[in-house]
Structure 1
Amino acid sequence: MKIVVIGGSGLIGSKLVNTLRGRGHDALAASPSTGVNSITREGLAEAMDGADVVVDVANAPSWEDQAVLDFFQTSSRNLLAAEAAAGVRHHVALSIVGSERLPDTGYFRAKVAQEALIKASGMPYTIVRATQFSEFAGGIVQSFAVGEEIRASPALIQPIASDDVVAALVDVVLAAPVNGTVEVGGPETMPIDELARRYLRATQDNRKVVPDVHARYFGAVLDDQSLVTGEDARLGAIRFDDWLVRSTAQ
């Protein structure tokens, strides 16, 4: 099976390509660095030629509100048009759990817009919504920094290791389109301020963590449902503390 991975040079994409190749599939790592650009359409038609499945795990180079919206809309329109022309049978896109619940964040609004384009395209599709990656914990913690303190929201978060995201994506890619959304999340939830304490302790950072219900998560005020999966979600196997041990050892 030929599988085109858009964003194939990134964190998720590179792992996905390697896993699919290990299973004997023809997985193409498609990104600007390999001559495939979903914004300019450079190399897009050639990449799609003979493809059975396209997996979009690309990320925007800028998180500024308008720039990220333009990126996901332009990229998705170009991908879906190229896929339709090439007869691709399954479009898989990686999105974020809770996107529609956080309209105050430009990145989440852009992911909702991307999902809308996919649903309206007529292409057979599966949207995989994942919770926040464990690999992003450092950036999440730092986003709450105020002076020498981390003033973090106590709302629940459900970190998932990228390896668990890739495992879920592989299963989706090799299955039939569901023409709907699949949720994947980490095996446990915890308050964000607790995640911050664990992360700082593991990285030997002595800053104090202060829970703050008014602290904004990239512009959005959270509650305990904002960032966690629903009842029917697939849960990963790698707990956050185990991921911390492994990542700090590396």
Structure 2
Amino acid sequence: MGSRWKCADPIGAGDTGARADLRRTGRYGMPEISSYLDELAREVAQSFGESAGSSITFQHHGAVLRVASSDEASARCDQVESRLHSGPCLQAMETQEAVVVPRLADLTEWPEWREQAVHEGYVSAVAVPAPVAPDVAVALNVYFMRAEGWDDGMLAVAQQHARAIARAVQGRLVLLTAAHAANEVRAAVGRRVTVEHAVGAIMHCNACTPDEALEVLRRTCADVDVSLETAARIVVGVLSGAPTGSRTRLDER
């Protein structure tokens, strides 16, 4: 059974010296995030020596995806975990504790993943989680083609890498959230402008106050069972097709 190491440090704490530290690049959340994570995975593997491979798995509200790998062998191992929703990186993300497997041959858990890892020539592995946001996390799997005796120093390096990877994902999510918020604001402004146009048109046709025009619009909503914006579009559409100078009263139906 793999042993567990608690990962208590939050993202950004104690990350001095991590080769994958994102502070050396301005590419937070760029469209090429997958390629960048592949680059980070390769850096992680290189930092542990020629016999190492690494892969990154992402969990978002229960959905699990392998998002990057240093090589095809480690990618195939993590793909088994993602496909079966079972393995050390899944456990690491669920418990927020690192899972250390010093000898894959002795492991009784996760037989499909173990068989794939052994088939690829790996002898030992470690899975290190890092939180990104509520219900969002990443896990870094590091595979070795030799039996590895993990000590506190080696695990700390793996945790630094995992936190750096989490920041890359976090940066991307921040940009996506900001873009979504901007789109929502633009949509809200568009809805407000449409309603204001309709209110102005009703005021012109009915020689009424803004409040009275808005009440006419609300009655239209109730009559045809649509949203205020849709009713406003209907009113503007109807009035834009009326002959010039028409003064049809919209509340006389």
1 or 2, which has the higher helix percentage? Answer: 2
Superposition TM-score, scaled by structure 1 size:
0.25
